[in-house]
Amino acid sequence: MKFHHKLMVVCLVTIVIPITVVSYVFFNQANQLVDKQVGDSYRKVLEQLNTTVSFNLKFYESIADQLTLSEVVQNAFEDPDAYVQKGIFMMNKEIKTTIRYIFAYRASDISSIQFFSLKSGKLSDGLYWLPIQSLFDSVDAGYLQDSDVWMLQYDEKNGKYNYALIKPIYSLKSFQKLGYLRMVIELSSIIPTPADAGSGNAPDQVFILGNQGTYMYHSSSEAYMGQPAPQEIVRLTRSGGDAGNELAVTLDKKNYSLWYKSVGENQLTSFLLVPQSSLNGSAIQLRNILLLVGGISMVVFTVLSFLFTQRLTLRLRLLHQRVLLVGKGVTYRQSVERRNDEIGVISTSFDVMLSQLDQQIQENFVKKLKIKELELNFLQTQINPHFLYNTLDSIKNEIELDEGDTAVRMVIILSDLFRISVSKGNRVIAWRDEIHHAECYLEIHRIRFGECFEVVWEIDPRLYGMYTLKIILQPILENAIRHGLGSRGKGGVIRVKGNVIDRNVEITITDNGSGIPEAQLLRIRAGISYHGADSGIGLKNINNRIQMYFGQAYGLSLTSTVGKGTEVRLYLPLLKEDSDVQAASG
């Protein structure tokens, strides 16, 4: 079945059939539909009540949290003897200072704040600090929990009901329970006045039940406060019904519609109870209107759906053809689609995606070619064949001269040189290995030609445990010996300094050789190379490898003065973790 046909079937199922079914059902259940429409307004009243009550409860819970976590309260509970040492006056003064912001914001709402210590007999002043037994005398100990508990409390002195928040106090040091905080708040500051009774949508009854099934609030009379609610309501609530949706309930042989919803996380539930007789006043009128609107809507939606799906599928088919062409590798000119609807955006995004994909493919292809070219040049030139032949020839001469120890030493050094050069195929090695590789080369050179120059190493000890691209020092040292100190004879000095600067590494290699003339220095800087292929790996290859892996911010620079010497400076990132090494060598 084509997509156009499927879409028409969907439209038929989702529009025509539901409208027909709903219209038929409405003839038989008009009263329930009216109840549902009117019930939306009651549900909003319930949601507004829940939002306000939940916000107020969280507000006072946040005040209680700040009190129980305050330094004064924690110190008093951790060390009750501090109360005796400071005296009643000073301790109460500190408590008043701690809770002064409460009275600054809600002075008339909080009736009292009391602390109860589990260490009986230690804290009691009759105002803020009371023994735990006085709490157990007014509250069943089994009712207390390890979290906040809201309770209804009757104030006999003022003859009105209040809410009491009982919060356990835990030590910030040992996480042991130290006691309880009881904060008494006026009921009017927690529960707002219900909707105006004169309005047509005013609920018959608004009430809140606690987790024990007793009234915590009732809009009709305070006589309900603290009394158990009807078992029918409690049973429906605890049976896992549709919280927030309308339920039918019968009380005293009268039918009611009931809505209920949990208040935040405080184990309270709010209820709206409305007689069903008040919901059926305009059922017949609503039924007639719905029939008329339903019939007109069915015809209009059917015609519009047919036209819309036909037009929509036409553009989708065109887009589908373009996708198939791309899948087959056929290139085409970009679409002229310039509409701002979903299909137009998809078409334009498809063109942009193809353009970006083609650009990325080209860039990645070129980059990989450059990397492969650099790696190939590096592998071809990292071992100078003349150096290897000359070293092996020197080993042969030492053996013929019966200098076996020197020959063995050269073999060991040459083995280390090759081991580090190969490095199991890794592009990145530790600086200690890179420096040892350069030392091996210098040691072989000394054995062959004698102590004709001196190398001074000034390396920051922290650098040895870091990582770098391999074989970047030896070519520079080779150039310094051959071209810098080659005409000097004895007395040549090469100084290698390595420093860690922030998150970067700076290596300077300085010689006191003959230096480079200005014109030649400019050519070398322009090409970053010593005498082309005769200079081993060459500065250009080193500089290109560094910038290819780490970016243009890093690389190699060269300065020289005729008669004084030459300095090569390397600037590299600091690679000190495995993730840095993998990112650099990937």
pLDDT at 331: 62
Residues near 62 by Cβ (< 8 Å), separated by ≥ 6? none
Helix (H) or strand (E) holding 212: none
Q: How big is the CA angle at 232 (ends 231 and 238), to the nearest 5 degrees? A: 85
Q: Does domain 382-585 have CATH number 3.30.565.10?
A: yes
Residues pairing with 496 in the sheet: 457, 509
pLDDT at 371: 63
Residues near 378 by Cβ (< 8 Å), separated by ≥ 6? 471, 537, 541, 545
Specify burial of residue 129 (Cβ count, 10 A radius: 0-12, 13-18, 19+): buried
pLDDT at 508: 96
The tokens for 187 are 């009921």
User: Are the beta carbons of 529 and 540 closer than 8 angstroms?
Assistant: yes
DSSP letter at 222 equals G
Dihedral-angle region of residue 290 (phi above 0 means left; psi in -120 to 50 means alpha; beta otherwise): alpha
- DSSP, collapsed to helix, strand or coil, labels residue 185 as strand
Q: Whose CA is closest to 169, among 83, 72, 267, 69?
A: 69
Dihedral-angle region of residue 20 (phi above 0 means left; psi in -120 to 50 means alpha; beta otherwise): alpha
User: Count of H helices and E strands in the chain?
Assistant: 17, 17
pLDDT at 218: 87
CA–CA separation, 468 and 461 (whole Å)? 15
Residues pairing with 511 in the sheet: 494, 566
Q: Give the start-to-end residue ranges of the domains of the chain.
A: 70-189, 382-585
User: Are the beta carbons of 543 and 516 closer than 8 angstroms?
Assistant: no
Alpha helices by DSSP H, 328-403: 342-381, 385-400
Tens of each residue's pLDDT in the chain, 586 residues: 666 667 767 776 777 677 777 666 666 666 566 666 777 788 888 888 888 888 888 888 888 888 888 887 888 777 766 666 666 667 677 777 777 666 555 545 788 888 888 876 666 666 777 888 888 878 877 777 778 888 888 887 778 888 888 999 998 888 888 888 888 888 888 887 654 433 444 457 888 888 778 888 888 888 888 888 888 888 776 665 555 667 788 887 888 888 888 886 667 888 888 887 766 555 666 667 777 877 787 777 777 777 777 776 776 777 777 777 777 766 655 555 566 776 677 777 777 777 777 777 777 766 665 666 555 455 445 556 667 777 788 888 888 887 888 888 888 988 888 888 777 767 789 999 999 999 998 888 888 887 778 899 999 999 999 999 888 998 899 888 888 887 676 788 999 999 999 889 999 999 998 888 998 888 888 877 544 444 445 788 888 888 888 888 999 999 999 989 999 999 999 998 655 655 555 5
| Radius of gyration from C-alpha coordinates of the chain | 44
Fold of 70-189: Beta-Lactamase (3.30.450)
- Number of residues that this document lists for the chain: 586
pLDDT at 493: 92
**Which amino acid, residue 507?**
I
Neighbouring CB atoms inside 10 A of 300's CB total 11
